[in-house]
Amino acid sequence: MNPMLLLGLFLLLYGFINHSLFGPVQFAAEDPIAFVGFVIAIVLGITVHEFMHAYTAHSLGDDTARLLGRLSLNPMAHLDPFGMLLLVLAGFGYGKPVPFNESRLRSSLAVTFVALAGPLANLGLAALFAVPLRFGSAEVFGPDYARILFVIVQMNCVLAIFNLIPIPPLDGANIVYGLLPPRQQYSWRTFQQYGPFLLLFILLLAPRVLQSLVFIPAGQLTTALTGLH
């Protein structure tokens, strides 16, 4: 089973038991504009993120993702129904992971490029949607439009930085894997089975670590791109 699904279900159950759900749906009525921005950001961010994984793997010699229909900008090819539901309810979710065959890639370093393509795509989206905010043209269409753009930039910064954490099954783990010598790659692979548990520990028991690793840098990057606080 997808380890991200297990993580999300556990977080959802934990939230129900402790009455501590913090998903965007909880605040939709209070701030519907931010909720709309969140949905657009997640659908767009996951779609482009996974597409770039598939495109990079295809460019580096592996057609696995293309043959499975993942070389597409159609959101339906990349969004996972349970992953999206968990995002809305629990604030933690996922898209369909893009499969690749390491043996078909041109080198082990290609694994790093494939993994890095997703977070870089999110950074590219954040920079693109920050342009109207940076130069003030967003205000021409009203504050709601500017707010949606800001949320899109913010969430794509969060997606990029979160996925760079070198803990399986996040992209950062494969980025590190591709940079290691063969013997260390084997050791890193054995570590992968424990990755989801470590990630769950951070999400539940060490939220300050996640705050320091992801949300604070994402906020600083959002400010740098948009010029807004």
Catalytic residue among 30, 50, 102, 139: 50
Only one residue has tokens 């993942």, namely: 70
3-state secondary structure string, 62-82? CCHHHHCCCCCCCHHHCECHH
Q: How far apart are CA 136 and CA 146, in angstroms?
A: 9
Which residue is associated with the tokens 């209070």?
30
Task: Find out whether 120 and 6 touch, Cβ atoms under 8 Å.
Answer: no
Is 139 one of the catalytic residues?
A: no
For residue 31, give the H/E element and its range. Answer: none
CB 132 within 8 A of CB 48: no
- Euclidean distance between CA atoms 126 and 156, whole angstroms: 6
Return the residue matching tokens 């070389």: 71
Burial status of residue 17 (CB atoms within 10 A of its CB: 0-12, 13-18, 19 or more): exposed
Q: How many residues does the chain have?
A: 229
Cβ distance 78 to 46 under 8 Å? yes
Residues annotated as catalytic (active site), given as ranges = 50
